[in-house]
């Protein structure tokens, strides 16, 4: 008896209602192994109470997540990634039953888990150890400097619903889960029915790990029922799948009337262009052929990023067609359960039927079959089963509209000859917006021209040549640190992209207040806010004692001509502005010889330092350094150093302190401003004990 997949809702694994299933056959769907036809699982969400699932996410998951800082969420994701990594062999076995080969499984499973590590790192390295993210700097809004502004990002109070495509049951979930979780969003995952048994296995482990706060993740296997009816303005739907479903979901009243955010990654007719500078026998020619064959066959072409439109110079059409056909003939197509298989079936016989129908649509519009499935030919005797489609290369004139409109979501690409770059650019834009494009050329003029002209229609563009080929991750691989998504037909979504995708799920708000109030709100000292200069030197305080606004003022110290000479000789920096009075005076910026900027920074360090061993462990850099007023011999420097931001590290006995450094002269003119970055012990009493 085939298992019925449970859903994880309201803190428990829930079976669909037997009563409804008995009365209504259509409420249950069956998942098959497309290679063997074996029945794998039955899927149904019949009987789930969707409003309570949404409430549970909002009222249990949301508050628990928002209690945690970005760093705490990041540490959890890292632990979760390690936990899933230890169990990956089981997912790989299951992945073979989705039609994916072992290599396809790497993209889905290992690629998916790696996004968790990547987002853990974004949270811990690029975000503060708090629950509010500061977006950009402080804006001065008034002359008297009592009124300032700052953009802050906070966690929305709703739920993020993922509706995912069948092609990546693990990656599709985790690449969205990582940023949503860091953003403080409880997540409801609805995987595509095909492949949902694999998503289910991973979620089962995630829940069993006990690493996530309760309510942070729920799983719905089967239809989402009336779930959208319960979403409002604080909620988000992130959809991946067909343009048709994207349009119908975008038209739902929750999006149209109640302000639910809706992001879509939909069909995409991605292009790859072979530059006119490339000749057969060159490295770029071989790279183009290899990349196209990889994109057609990896995951049997069921990748939203796969190359669908291959643009080649007219004169190379036959050479490329021959080389690609030859390479495709070498690809071993078969069951993923056989280790030698290089390309498996499509996810289901229905999907294979859809792909064959899409090929027929493109060929009946005028495209020719170079190799592979030919709709006008009787079925090949060597076809393995109805779920398989041979890798199919078509060629067509770019004027044929179907080539730019019909996405055959399988091992299919069309060669499109172009006569000039202007012609090629026009052809690319007929895709009306795609996730990714690639340019294979070693000519910077060609690359720049095509890239700048086609970028507005794309979320990502790979430029591939002999210099980066060995290390390139390829046309089809979205990376956690780079944007994945595309305008227009591709859905207009923007996933991944490092911190960008986390902020995507948060609310940005411009806050206007006084400097002291803004400091209190954000936990980050704002210039013009109160400084606390009394008491212990701030370098003598560990993180348990240090407060935002704690300040040390050092100086004044006079800068002499001898100091400047000595610094020039000692460092070897004998630039004329420091050593030649006449030449310096002729410079539009200087009154005569001036002190080195680095001398100013060095003297400032000497003025604020506390030499004895203490909680400050190291200075690990400066940021935002600007030299503003030149320092002439005889000028007197004063430095004001203020604790600006304190970031204790979750997993270390120390944290980071960012100090605001302000160097002024005897006339109170600002000489230099910068941030000093230090590592400071959290609690010296603990480390001494
Ligand atoms: P789909 O039919 O649009 O399904 C995508 C997801 O939406 C699945 O989870 C599906 O659930 C769900 N869904 C379908 N109808 C729904 C509705 N009325 N309300 C709520 N959810 C609904 O797409 P697919 O079958 O996964 O793939 C088909 C096409 O999508 C492909 O041929 C390709 O063109 C495109 N695709 C695009 C990307 C991309 O990233 N751009 C990725 C994969 C696929 P069920 O599975 O339970 O029906």
3-state secondary structure of 645: strand
Q: Record the pTM.
A: 0.92
Residue 549 has pLDDT above 70, yes or no: yes
What distance in angstroms lies between residue 193's CA and the mean position of ligand 1's atoms? 9
Q: Reduced to 3 states, what is the DSSP secondary structure of residue 87?
A: coil
> Which residue from 108, 165, 358 has its CB within 8 A of the most atoms of ligand 1, so it is best to mutate?
165
Local confidence band at 293 (pLDDT 50, 70, 90 cut-offs): very high
The average pLDDT across 604-615 equals 95
Amino acid 572: pLDDT: 97
Calculate how far, in angstroms, residue 407's C-alpha sits from the geometric centre of ligand 1.
13
pLDDT tens-digit series, residues 107-135:
999 999 999 999 999 999 999 999 999 99
Ligand 1 centre and the CA of 454: distance in Å? 27
Span 132-149, mean pLDDT?
A: 94
pLDDT at 192: 97
Helices (H), 614-664: none
How many Å is the maximal CA-CA distance in the chain? 97
- pLDDT for residue 377: 76
What sections of 365-469 are H helices per DSSP? 402-405, 421-429, 444-454
- Name the H helices within 67-160: 70-86, 88-96, 102-105, 111-126
Backbone dihedral angles phi then psi of residue 294, each to the nearest 5 degrees: -60, -45
pLDDT of residue 1: 53
What is the strand order of the sheet 670-681 is part of?
551-558, 636-648, 654-664, 670-681, 616-627
Give the Å distance between the CA of 245 and the centre of ligand 1: 6
pLDDT digits 0-9 by tens, 320-346:
999 999 999 999 999 999 999 999 999
Taking a C-beta distance cutoff of 8 angstroms, is the pair 465, 442 a contact? yes
Is the CB of 266 within 6 Å of ligand 1? yes
Which residue has its alpha carbon closest to ligand 1 atom 40?
304
Ligand 1 centroid to residue 164 C-alpha, Å: 7
Average pLDDT over residues 54-83: 97
Pairwise CA distance, residues 122 & 140, whole Å: 29
**pLDDT value at 380 more than 60:** no
DSSP letters of 477-546? ---TTSEE--SGGG-S--EESTHHHHHHTEEEEEEEE-HHHHHHHHSS--TTS--B-SSS-GGG--TTT-
Does the Cβ of 225 fall within 6 Å of ligand 1? Answer: no
Q: Is residue 687 over pLDDT 80?
A: no
Residues taking part in catalysis:
265, 304
Pocket lining: 163 vs ligand 1, CB cutoff 6 Å: yes
DSSP string, 157-182: SS-EEEE--SS-TTHHHHHHHHHHHH
- pLDDT per residue as tens digits for the range 162-221: 999 999 999 999 999 999 999 999 999 999 999 999 999 999 999 999 999 999 999 999
Q: Residue 385: its pLDDT value, please?
A: 76
Q: Which atom of ligand 1 is nearest to the CA of 354?
A: 32
Looking at 17-31, 193-207, 537-551, which range is the least confident one?
17-31
Would you state the pLDDT for residue 381? Answer: 44
Sign of the Cα torsion 387, 393, 396, 399 reads positive
Q: What is the pLDDT of residues 252-277, one digit of tens each?
A: 999 999 999 999 998 899 999 999 99
Mean local confidence (pLDDT), 574-603: 97
Ligand 1 site, residue 407, Cβ cutoff 6 A: yes
**Is residue 19 over pLDDT 90?**
no
- Give the count of beta carbons closer than 10 Å to the beta carbon of residue 239: 22
pLDDT value, residue 240: 95
Confidence category of residue 23, pLDDT binned at 50, 70, 90: confident
**Is 619's pLDDT higher than 50?**
yes
Peptide linkage before 635 cis (omega within 30 of 0) = no
250 lines ligand 1 (CB under 6 A): no
Task: Tell whether the model's pLDDT for residue 382 goes beyond 50.
Answer: no
Asked whether 242 lines ligand 1 (CB < 6 A), one says yes
Tell me the C-alpha to C-alpha distance, in Å, between residue 365 and each of 166, 303, 357, 378, 394: 28, 24, 12, 20, 12
pLDDT at 689: 58
Mean pLDDT for the stretch of residues 311-315:
97
3-state secondary structure of 52: helix
Question: What phi and psi, each to the nearest 5 degrees, are found at residue 130?
Answer: -150, -165
Q: Which amino acid residue places its CA nearest to atom 41 of ligand 1?
A: 266
Section 493-508 average pLDDT:
93
The finding on whether 50 has its CB within 6 A of some atom of ligand 1 is no
- Tell whether ligand 1 has an atom less than 6 A from the beta carbon of residue 241: yes
Residue 526 in this model has a pLDDT that exceeds 90: yes
**Mutation to probe ligand 1, out of 245, 307, 485 (largest number of atoms < 8 A from CB):** 245
Q: Please report which confidence band the pLDDT of residue 627 belongs to, taking 50, 70 and 90 as the band edges.
A: very high
């Amino acid at each position: 008896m085939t298992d019925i997949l449970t859903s994880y809702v309201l803190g428990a694994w829930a079976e669909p209602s037997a009563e409804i299933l008995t009365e209504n056959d259509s409420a249950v769907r069956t998942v098959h192994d497309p290679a063997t036809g074996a029945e794998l699982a039955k899927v149904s969400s019949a009987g789930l109470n969707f409003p309570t699932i949404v409430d549970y996410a909002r009222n249990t998951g949301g508050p628990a997540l928002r209690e945690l800082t970005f760093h705490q969420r990041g540490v959890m994701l890292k632990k979760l990634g390690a936990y899933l990594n230890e169990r990956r062999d089981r997912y790989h076995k299951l992945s073979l039953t989705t039609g994916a080969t072992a290599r396809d499984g790497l993209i889905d499973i290992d690629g998916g888990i790696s996004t968790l590590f990547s987002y853990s790192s974004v949270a811990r390295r690029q975000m503060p150890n708090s629950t509010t993210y500061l977006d950009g700097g402080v804006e001065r809004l008034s002359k008297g400097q009592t009124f300032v502004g700052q953009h802050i990002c906070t966690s929305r109070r709703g739920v993020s619903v993922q509706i995912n495509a069948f092609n990546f049951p693990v990656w599709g979930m985790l690449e969205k889960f990582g940023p949503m979780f860091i953003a403080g969003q409880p997540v409801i995952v609805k995987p595509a029915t095909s492949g949902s048994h694999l998503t289910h296995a991973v979620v089962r482990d995630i829940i069993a790990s006990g690493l996530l706060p309760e309510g942070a993740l729920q799983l719905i296997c089967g239809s989402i029922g009336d779930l959208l009816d319960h979403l409002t303005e604080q909620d988000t739907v992130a959809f991946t799948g067909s343009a048709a479903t994207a349009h119908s979901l975008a038209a739902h009243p929750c999006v149209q009337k109640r302000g639910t955010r809706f992001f879509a990654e939909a069909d995409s007719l991605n292009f790859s262009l072979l530059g006119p500078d490339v000749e057969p026998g060159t490295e770029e020619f071989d790279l183009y052929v290899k990349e196209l064959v990889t994109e057609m066959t990896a995951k049997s072409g069921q990748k939203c990023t796969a190359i669908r439109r291959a643009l080649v110079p007219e004169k190379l059409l036959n050479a490329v067609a021959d080389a690609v056909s030859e390479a495709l003939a070498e690809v071993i197509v078969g069951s993923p359960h056989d280790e030698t298989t290089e390309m498996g079936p499509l996810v289901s016989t229905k999907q294979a039927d859809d792909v064959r129908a899409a090929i027929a649509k493109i060929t009946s519009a005028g495209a020719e079959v170079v190799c592979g499935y030919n709709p006008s030919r009787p079925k090949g005797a060597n076809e393995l089963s109805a779920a398989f489609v041979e890798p199919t290369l078509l060629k067509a004139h770019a004027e044929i509209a179907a080539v730019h409109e019909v996405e055959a979501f399988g091992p299919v690409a069309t060669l499109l000859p172009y006569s000039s770059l202007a012609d090629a650019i026009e052809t690319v834009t007929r895709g009306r917006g795609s996730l990714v494009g690639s340019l294979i050329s070693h000519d910077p003029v060609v690359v720049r021209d095509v890239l700048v002209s086609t970028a507005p229609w794309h979320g990502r563009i790979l430029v591939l040549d002999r210099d980066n080929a060995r290390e390139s991750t390829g046309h089809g691989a979205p990376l956690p640190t780079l944007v994945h998504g595309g305008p227009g037909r591709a859905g207009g979504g923007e996933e991944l992209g490092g911190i960008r995708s986390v902020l995507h799920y948060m609310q940005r708000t411009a806050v206007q207040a006084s400097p002291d109030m803004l400091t209190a709100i954000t936990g980050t000292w704002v210039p013009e806010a109160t400084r606390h200069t009394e008491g212990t030197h701030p370098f003598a305080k560990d993180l348990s004692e240090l407060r935002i606004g704690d300040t040390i003022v050092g100086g004044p110290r006079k800068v002499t001509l001898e100091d400047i000479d000595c610094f020039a000789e000692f460092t070897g920096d004998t630039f004329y502005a420091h050593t030649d009075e006449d030449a310096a005076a002729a410079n539009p910026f200087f009154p005569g010889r001036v002190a080195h900027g680095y001398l100013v920074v060095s003297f400032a360090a000497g003025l604020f330092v506390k030499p004895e061993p203490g909680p400050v462990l190291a200075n690990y850099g400066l940021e935002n350094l600007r030299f503003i007023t030149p320092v002439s011999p005889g000028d007197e420097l004063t430095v004001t150093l203020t604790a600006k931001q304190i970031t204790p590290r979750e997993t270390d006995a120390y944290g980071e302190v960012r100090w605001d450094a302000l160097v002024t002269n005897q006339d109170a003119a600002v000489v230099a401003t910068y941030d000093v970055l230090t590592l400071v012990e959290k609690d010296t009493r603990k480390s001494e004990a």
